[in-house]
């Protein structure tokens, strides 16, 4: 199944030292303005969508269009993944974590719960795509395709 990925550098957390900088809230507001029934899942900004953990087990989204805003792990989460790298003697825990999260969210809609009309649009910053794009293209259970036009 194909998954559309739209690169949007606003898929990032707010920075208190740069209050005029665009961030995930702006993307969220645009999506809601164009589709008031939009379902937005975000791995870091639960005030602007629901988190993947809150989406687990919900069948409410079957047959719906899902927007998944994928952002970098929080500093604490990133630290923990780097510790896992050290313990396991590897360097790919961050990529594997993000690949798993991607496949879980996409799989909720396009996996065994798939119904006609189901669609997932992943939104992520360009910098994150540069770090995990190859992993998503080669190791994901889904066919990732980068799109250039804003899908909302």
Written in H, E and C, the secondary structure of 35-54 is CCCCEEEECCCHHHCECHHH
What parts of the chain have a pLDDT lower than 70? 45-48, 57
Q: What pTM, to 2 d.p., does this model score? A: 0.89
* Residues forming beta bridges with residue 63, ordered by sequence position: none
- pLDDT given for residue 46 in this prediction: 60
- pLDDT given for residue 150 in this prediction: 95
- pLDDT given for residue 98 in this prediction: 95
- pLDDT given for residue 138 in this prediction: 97
- pLDDT given for residue 102 in this prediction: 94
Give the pair of three-digit tokens for residue 50.
Answer: 């629901």
Angle at Cα 75 formed by Cα 69 and Cα 77, nearest 5°? 75
Q: Where are the domains of the chain?
A: 6-147
- pLDDT given for residue 122 in this prediction: 97
Given a contact cutoff of 8 angstroms between Cβ atoms, the answer to whether 4 and 145 are in contact is yes
């Amino acid at each position: 199944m194909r998954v559309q990925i739209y690169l949007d550098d606003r898929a990032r957390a707010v920075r208190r030292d740069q209050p005029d900088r665009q961030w995930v809230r702006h993307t969220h507001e645009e999506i809601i303005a164009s589709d008031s029934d939009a379902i937005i899942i975000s791995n870091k900004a639960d005030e602007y969508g629901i988190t993947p953990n809150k989406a687990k087990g919900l069948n409410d989204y079957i047959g719906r269009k899902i927007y998944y805003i994928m952002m970098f792990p929080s500093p604490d989460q990133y630290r923990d993944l780097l510790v896992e790298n050290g313990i396991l003697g590897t360097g790919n825990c961050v990529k594997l974590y993000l690949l798993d999260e991607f496949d879980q969210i996409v799989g909720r809609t396009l996996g065994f719960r798939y119904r006609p009309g189901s669609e997932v649009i992943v939104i992520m910053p360009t910098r994150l795509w540069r770090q995990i794009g190859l992993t998503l293209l080669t190791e994901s259970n889904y066919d990732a395709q980068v799109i250039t036009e804003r899908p909302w």
